[in-house]
Structure 1
Amino acid sequence: MLIDPRRIKHCRHCGTAVDYRVPDDDNRERAVCAGCGTIHYENPLNVVGTVPVWGEQVLLCKRAIEPRYGFWTLPAGFMELGETVAQGALRETTEEAGANIELEGLLTMLSVVRVGQVHLFYKARMLDTALDPGPETLEARLFHEHEVPWDEIAFRTVRETLQHFFACRRAGSAYPLHCGDI
């Protein structure tokens, strides 16, 4: 499913129907209010999360919400206004897994153009194994690489992030930032 490029129907300022056209001094179609002239820009949403690590294990969460109810994912979600990428990743990890972590560095940045999102995952060190999953999570648990339920991973960005993490670990290398498009 592709993002509908004409999602805005009415002006957020005055409520008048918008027209899609290329404004002066621009190079692409935008939602332009026929009443007040406000130009409405639509930009990708950021999904932020972590790869929480305890020894040789990674923490995964079983989703209690759609999409992909009952599938496993890394703790992640939409970044909120007023927070940094790092703050959002910490918040999402706390909300979804109840894990106490310390961020170690950005691990992956994946563009998901068809749904208008950018997914950013940090490598994180778990400070203990206490977990208190929130309402969006059925279960949170630690997995060794050979135990990861690969056929039950919720999203391609999570699969690619985990594959990058484990490949770096097996190689005994640093964890360089992996960028890609999905």
Structure 2
Amino acid sequence: MNGRYRLEPNFTRTVPPGDNVERQVCAECGFVDYQNPKIVAGSVVTWRDRILLCRRAIEPRRGYWTLPAGYLELNETPEEGAWREANEEACTDIEIDRILAIYSIPRISQVQIIYRARLKRHHFAAGPESEAVALFDWADIPWGDLAFPSVGWALRHHRDVIGREDFAPSSNPQAGL
């Protein structure tokens, strides 16, 4: 205690009034500490017919290939987040076209918003979270070394809509998570 004020909340697990889910609630003031899914924003970035992938320099899945993507920051739109992640992970500037897919991954409490995008110019480099960044022809994508299932989903969904402007965003494949 510091004077009359407690420095750390006194949380207990309970169902708050008007709710139906047990949550962390401060026993003193009633503050509810909601735990919500994380939003990931990223993009399938192309240069001509090639796809930009980043080899992860961080865990999880260090050394595996992924799309430029990551968690949204507070007060950031998904488009801003996708642009920022491409800039941070691949040191590049992209032009976002449209939403390619929205994936729900409840086992890790994520919703992923993936855009279709293009490099503004043929310039990229590994950022602090990437060991390497490269453009791949479809036949050369390192399928066995992709970091996450959703990377493969997005790449396949991207291939399905090449040249199309009239598609609805894809979602999780029927095979499940």
Q: TM-score, normalised by structure 1?
A: 0.87
For 1:112 and 1:14, locate their aligned partners in 2 and report how far apart those are by CA, in whole Å. Answer: 35
Whether the 8 Å contact between 2:36 and 2:109 is mirrored in structure 1 is yes
For 1:16 and 1:101, locate their aligned partners in 2 and report how far apart those are by CA, in whole Å. Answer: 43
Q: CA offsets, 1:35-57, max 9 Å, x none?
A: 22211111001111111111111
Paired residue total: 168
Cα offset, 1:165, TM superposition: 0.7
2:111 maps to what in 1? Answer: 118
Structure 2 unaligned regions, length at least 5: 1-5
In the TM superposition, 1:1-182 aligns within 5 A as 14-169=7-162, 173-174=164-165, 175-180=167-172, 182=177
For 1:47 and 1:14, locate their aligned partners in 2 and report how far apart those are by CA, in whole Å. Answer: 32
Q: CA offsets, 1:120-174, max 9 Å, x none?
A: 11100112111122111111110111110000000111111111111223xx544
Q: Which runs of 4+ in 1 moved over 4 A?
A: none
Q: CA offsets, 1:58-101, max 9 Å, x none?
A: 10000011100100000011100021110011000000001221
For 1:20 and 1:14, locate their aligned partners in 2 and report how far apart those are by CA, in whole Å. Answer: 19
The SS at the match of 2:171 is strand
The SS at the match of 2:154 is helix
For 1:92 and 1:30, locate their aligned partners in 2 and report how far apart those are by CA, in whole Å. Answer: 32
Structure 1 unaligned regions, length at least 5: 1-12
Q: TM-score, normalised by structure 2?
A: 0.89
Q: Which amino acid aligns with 1:21?
A: T
Cα offset, 1:14, TM superposition: 4.8
Whether the 8 Å contact between 1:50 and 1:124 is mirrored in structure 2 is yes
- Give the superposed CA RMSD: 1.5
Identity %: 40
Whether the 8 Å contact between 1:14 and 1:35 is mirrored in structure 2 is no
